[in-house]
């Protein structure tokens, strides 16, 4: 398998060798398996909503009513089915294209040695025989064999083998593509690439699997609730229609199915997907990849952003200030530079080692020294160590690292105090400090050589970005592994406050909690802190957990493999520019532009998306309740009937025009937004009830024996006399009801988009409607009006029973005035109910920060929250029962896995902390 020859390790492959090997082995790329386009389309046709439309269409055409079949309804339903399926399909595809366009800009890279030089190379260009450098956080780009000298690699192979424990690999051992390097640093020679690798894996192995996010849960609940509501109402309507002696069974069945089709949220998947796809494309233009569309909605409610410091808030461009070197004892500043450079890697190095070696300038100054063993930096030891033989043959150990770590190694109290003083003084200037020490007795005792400082200044836009985030109600909390003093100084420079919690305090709070959960005191302290210093990987995960336990929606930025658990745990995980593949795999949003300014843009976009989604859900619930409620009472009280093709037409017009809400002009928000389904349901029902009352009261006034007794409106006296069964045979009655019903439903789009009165446009309410929204609404209202005025009664699309005839301008204008009055009344109800919930939200915000329990939530506020909380509890119980049933099938497998874990733990005892953290990532 793969290459058998081993090229020299000092220069790697040449360009000519690479070209020849690429012809033989191809690119290091395996196309990820994708769902065929035909299957995606078929799945949409088999969706439950699509099946309902199809069944209604078949029934309309197959069941005769008075000898006639509803072919018009059939054709319109089939057209609506095509609209729903293909609009949803193209929306999904456009969202995928938006991700793919930007994903090309963040193709996986690796460190590779070619033509004697180390450089960054796209993973897909690797060939067998290439020499690559691996360190903590890297995803192994190809099957390889470890070579050279260095610390063994700790490798997480869970994505390949399913084993959660990390394994240790030494030089000479094989490693597999797709595994993640947890710690250590070694070179490796590529042995197999692409389809020739052991598993044929690609970088897609670390992709986040699709999961049902919070938005999907909300939409599913709305869809199920409306469907159940429709089933109950239509069952009663079916009973009433069937019980009527004059109604044939076919008429009852067709009418009920068409009503049901009009009530269920047929266009909901299309609208929500379109809204999110538009947001994803907008984010793509801002150099951000959205890997989980629903994360855009969840970001709208983000209250806390836990941000990494180095490289995110700061430039991550360290430089050593030679004038600021503090030499200790008999050592000179040149000695400090020399020993610090001996303790640094010169090739394939990190930012700190690069800053140190650049300060010396030329490797010739250390040419006489021979390094026999080198221990690279790791997050636990926080230092680098080199075993050296001097030009005179003496053995020497040099080390550089965090001053507090170096200080703890020293026996001289004065030197230890010098380290502490140096940290404090340099931290006040925003400098990063390093201690340099040496040992002449094989590490038994250490003496201080000196201290150096490195500057990593804040990004020019970080301070302004943080201010913008704070003004939008998002608290930015810095998370760094740096010392406490440096964290304080950086926070002050960025205007973030100086209340900093240390990592050891986080762990102390964890021990005081219940079963690995943070205790209440830690939760409160994390919420009040401006940042966290000296944190380890497990601290980050616990910080996110504590903030979530406080009830906050948390966003987390990170770039390393040790950030993956926290990124996965956070409500919105954000991988910053330059992040490792492991961090990208755990994140919901991947930034390709440096800094966090893109996050502010994402917050603004997400809040606009939330506004559009909330507006649509309120509108959809109000429309469904209005249509079902009207026909329920109109049929039950007045024995009202309307051509079924008119019902289908109303549904089609609604679904077509509401798509435009995806592009409507909306304001963002100055504060995080959260779903309050109790409020949305109350507003929707208030609007719907006004519409139901208005339309039902209109029915008796459009009867021929009442409305058309007026001479100026009575154009066909023969149609005035009702038959013996009391059901009107006039086609003008359904024409005017159609106008009233479609008018109120269409105008509700304008009504629900504004939390204030529909005509009041401001920064706190809503902007003026977009032309993209007004054009279809205006066209459909105009079309409905002309149909109600001019429709020829001799045109009977679905047979003789269903009459529809234009009623003339006088009647239509009167109905329009009637509709406008009830529309304004509905608007007043909407504003009144909204104001009640706004007041309740203000009260809850005031009480949110209190922990003493003395402030009690008013009873009426609790009453408003009760319906939503009850629904959540019921949903949680159902999911818990389902999980309980599923767990019994996994019990034996988990037990076997635990036994395997126990065996490996005996071999890999030192990896216990990493096992727990990485296990969280895989959960």
The counts of H helices and E strands in the chain are 28, 22
Q: How confident is the model at residue 307 (pLDDT cuts 50, 70, 90)?
A: confident
- 211-236 pLDDT, tens per residue? 455 676 777 777 777 888 888 888 88
Q: What is the CATH number of domain 215-281+603-709+729-849?
A: 1.20.1110.10
- Averaged pLDDT for residues 869-897: 49
Task: Label the pairing between strands 447-455 and 500-502.
Answer: unpaired
Would you say residue 903 has pLDDT above 90?
no
DSSP state of 313: I
| Category of 579 on φ-ψ map: left (φ > 0), alpha (ψ -120 to 50) or beta | beta
User: What pLDDT is attached to residue 244?
Assistant: 67
- Averaged pLDDT for residues 606-633: 88
User: What pLDDT is attached to residue 223?
Assistant: 77
Sign of CA dihedral 795, 798, 802, 807: negative
- Averaged pLDDT for residues 569-578: 85
Residue 151 dihedral angles phi and psi, to the nearest 5°? -75, 140
User: What pLDDT is attached to residue 855?
Assistant: 59
Whether 639 is catalytic is no
Mean pLDDT, rounded, of the chain: 76
Question: CB of 557 within 8 A of CB of 596?
Answer: yes
Residue 299 dihedral angles phi and psi, to the nearest 5°? -65, -25
- CA distance linking residue 476 with residue 465, whole number of Å: 10
Q: What is the CATH number of domain 319-455?
A: 3.40.1110.10
- Averaged pLDDT for residues 875-891: 48
User: What pLDDT is attached to residue 782?
Assistant: 92
CA atoms within 13 A on the CB side of 531: 28
What is the number of residues in the chain?
923
Question: CB of 193 within 8 A of CB of 203?
Answer: no
Q: Which two tokens stand for residue 378?
A: 């790791």
Strongest mean pLDDT among 47-61, 286-300, 651-665, 742-756:
742-756
Task: Label the pairing between strands 554-558 and 174-175.
Answer: unpaired
Other Cβ atoms within 10 Å of 863 Cβ, number: 11
Catalytic residue among 308, 527, 559, 680: 308
Q: How confident is the model at residue 522 (pLDDT cuts 50, 70, 90)?
A: confident
- Averaged pLDDT for residues 894-912: 33
User: What pLDDT is attached to residue 232?
Assistant: 86
Question: CB of 406 within 8 A of CB of 435?
Answer: yes
**Nearest partner of 283 among 588, 570, 560, judged by Cα:** 588
Mention every residue, 6+ apart, whose C-beta is less than 8 A from residue 881.
none
User: What pLDDT is attached to residue 911?
Assistant: 31
Which range among 134-138, 617-621, 853-857 shows the weakest confidence by mean pLDDT?
853-857
User: What pLDDT is attached to residue 205?
Assistant: 36
Would you say residue 852 has pLDDT above 50?
no
**Nearest partner of 807 among 698, 901, 660, 679, judged by Cα:** 698
Question: CB of 885 within 8 A of CB of 532?
Answer: no
Question: CB of 506 within 8 A of CB of 542?
Answer: yes
Q: How confident is the model at residue 247 (pLDDT cuts 50, 70, 90)?
A: low
Which uninterrupted H or E stretch holds 408? Answer: helix 403-409
Q: Which two tokens stand for residue 314?
A: 């700061």
Which range among 288-297, 784-793, 888-897, 910-919 shows the weakest confidence by mean pLDDT?
910-919
Which uninterrupted H or E stretch holds 899? Answer: helix 859-907
The residue extents of the domains of the chain are: 15-34+107-206, 215-281+603-709+729-849, 288-315+458-592, 319-455
How large is the C-alpha radius of gyration of the chain? Answer: 35
- Averaged pLDDT for residues 753-774: 87
Question: CB of 823 within 8 A of CB of 744?
Answer: yes
- CA distance linking residue 379 with residue 402, whole number of Å: 11
DSSP 491-508: HHHTT--S-EEEHHHHHH
DSSP state of 195: G
Q: Which two tokens stand for residue 645?
A: 């093709």
Q: What is the CATH number of domain 288-315+458-592?
A: 3.40.50.1000
Task: Label the pairing between strands 531-533 and 500-502.
Answer: parallel
Please enumerate, as own/partner, the contacts of 873-880 that have beta carbons within 8 Å and a separation of 24 or more. Answer: 875/217, 875/221
Question: CB of 514 within 8 A of CB of 537?
Answer: no
Question: CB of 600 within 8 A of CB of 469?
Answer: yes
Strongest mean pLDDT among 89-98, 228-237, 850-859, 876-885:
228-237
**Nearest partner of 356 among 400, 394, 391, 313, judged by Cα:** 400
- The CATH-assigned architecture of domain 15-34+107-206 is Distorted Sandwich (2.70)
Strongest mean pLDDT among 249-258, 829-838, 851-860:
829-838
Q: How confident is the model at residue 383 (pLDDT cuts 50, 70, 90)?
A: confident
């Amino acid at each position: 398998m793969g290459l058998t020859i081993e090229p020299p390790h000092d220069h790697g492959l040449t360009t000519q060798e690479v070209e020849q090997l690429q012809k033989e082995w191809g690119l290091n790329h395996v196309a990820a398996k994708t769902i065929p386009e035909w299957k995606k389309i078929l799945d949409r046709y088999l969706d439950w909503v699509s099946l309902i439309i199809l069944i209604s269409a078949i029934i309309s055409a197959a069941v005769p009513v008075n000898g006639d079949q509803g072919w018009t309804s059939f054709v319109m339903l089939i057209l609506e089915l095509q609209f729903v399926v293909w609009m949803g399909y193209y929306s999904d595809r456009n969202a995928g294209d938006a991700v793919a366009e930007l994903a090309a800009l963040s193709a996986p890279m690796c460190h590779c040695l070619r033509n004697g030089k180390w450089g960054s190379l796209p993973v897909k260009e690797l060939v067998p025989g290439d020499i690559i450098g691996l360190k903590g956080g890297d995803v192994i780009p190809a099957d390889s064999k470890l070579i050279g000298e260095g610390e063994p690699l700790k490798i997480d192979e869970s994505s390949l083998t399913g084993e959660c424990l990390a394994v240790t690999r030494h030089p000479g051992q094989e490693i597999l593509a797709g595994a993640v390097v947890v710690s250590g640093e070694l070179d490796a020679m590529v042995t197999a690439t692409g389809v020739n690798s052991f598993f044929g894996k690609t970088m897609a192995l670390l992709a986040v699997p699709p999961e049902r996010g919070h938005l999907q849960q909300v939409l599913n609940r709305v869809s199920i609730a409306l469907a159940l509501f429709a089933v109950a109402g239509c069952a009663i309507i079916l009973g009433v229609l069937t019980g009527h002696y004059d109604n044939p069974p076919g008429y009852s069945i067709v009418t009920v199915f068409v009503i049901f089709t009009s009530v269920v949220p047929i266009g909901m998947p299309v609208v929500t997907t379109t809204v999110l796809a538009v947001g994803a494309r907008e984010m793509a233009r801002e150099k951000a990849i959205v890997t989980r569309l629903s994360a855009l909605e969840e970001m709208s409610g983000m209250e806390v952003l836990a941000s990494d410091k180095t490289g995110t808030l700061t430039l991550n461009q360290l430089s050593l200030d030679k004038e600021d070197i503090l030499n200790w004892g008999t050592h000179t500043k040149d000695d400090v530079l020399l020993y610090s450079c001996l303790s640094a890697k010169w090739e394939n190095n990190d930012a700190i080692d690069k800053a140190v070696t650049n300060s010396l300038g030329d490797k010739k100054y250390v040419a006489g020294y021979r390094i026999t063993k080198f221990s690279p930096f790791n997050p636990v030891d926080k230092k680098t160590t080199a075993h050296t033989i001097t030009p005179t043959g003496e053995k020497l150990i040099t080390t550089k690292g965090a001053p507090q770590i170096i200080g703890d190694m020293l026996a001289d109290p004065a030197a230890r105090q010098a380290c502490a003083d140096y940290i404090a003084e340099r931290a006040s200037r925003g400098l990063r400090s390093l201690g340099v020490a040496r040992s002449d007795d094989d590490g038994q005792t250490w003496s201080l050589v000196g201290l150096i400082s490195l500057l990593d200044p804040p990004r020019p836009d970080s301070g302004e970005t943080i201010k913008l985030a704070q003004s939008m109600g998002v608290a930015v909390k810095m998370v760094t592994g740096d010392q406490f003093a440096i964290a304080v100084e950086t926070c002050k420079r960025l205007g973030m406050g100086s209340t900093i919690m240390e990592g050891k305090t986080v762990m102390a709070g964890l021990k005081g909690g219940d079963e690995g959960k943070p205790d209440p005191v830690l939760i409160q302290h994390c919420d009040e802190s401006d940042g966290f210093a000296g944190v380890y990987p497990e601290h980050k995960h616990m910080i996110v957990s504590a903030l979530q336990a406080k009830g906050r929606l948390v966003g987390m930025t990170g770039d390393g493999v040790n950030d993956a658990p926290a990124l996965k745990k956070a409500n919105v995980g954000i991988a910053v520019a330059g992040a490792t593949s492991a961090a990208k795999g755990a994140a919901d949003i991947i930034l390709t532009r440096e800094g966090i300014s893109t996050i502010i843009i994402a917050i603004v976009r997400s809040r606009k998306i939330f506004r559009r989604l909330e507006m649509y859900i309120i509108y959809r619930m109000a429309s469904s309740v209005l249509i079902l409620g009207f026909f329920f009472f109109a049929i039950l009280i007045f024995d009202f009937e309307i051509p079924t093709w008119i019902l289908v037409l109303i549904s089609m017009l609604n679904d077509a025009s509401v798509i435009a809400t995806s592009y409507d002009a909306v304001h963002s928000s100055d504060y995080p937004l959260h779903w309050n389904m109790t409020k949305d349901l109350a507003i929707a029902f208030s609007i719907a009830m006004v519409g139901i009352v208005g339309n039902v009261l209109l029915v008796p006034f459009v009867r021929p024996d009442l409305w058309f007794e007026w001479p100026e409106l009575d154009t066909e006296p023969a149609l005035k006399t009702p038959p013996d069964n009391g059901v009107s045979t006039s086609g003008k009655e359904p024409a005017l009801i159609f106008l009233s019903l479609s008018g109120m439903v269409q105008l509700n789009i304008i009504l629900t988009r504004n939390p204030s009165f529909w005509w009041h446009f401001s920064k706190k309410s809503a902007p003026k409607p977009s032309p993209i929204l007004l054009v279809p609404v205006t066209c459909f209202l105009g079309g409905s009006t002309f149909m109600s005025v001019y429709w020829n009664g001799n045109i009977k699309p679905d047979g003789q029973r269903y009459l529809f005839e234009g009623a003339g301008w006088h009647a239509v204008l009167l109905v329009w005035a009637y509709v406008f009055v009830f529309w304004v009344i509905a608007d007043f109800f909407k504003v009144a109910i909204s104001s009640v919930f706004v007041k309740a939200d203000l009260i809850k915000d005031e009480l949110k920060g209190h922990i003493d329990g003395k402030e009690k939530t008013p009873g009426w506020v609790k009453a408003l929250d009760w319906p939503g909380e009850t629904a959540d509890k019921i949903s949680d119980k159902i999911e818990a029962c389902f999980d309980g049933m599923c767990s019994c099938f996994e019990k034996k497998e988990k037990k076997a896995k635990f036994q395997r874990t126990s065996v490996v733990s005996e071999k890999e005892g030192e990896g216990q902390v990493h096992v727990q953290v990485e296990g969280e990532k895989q959960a």
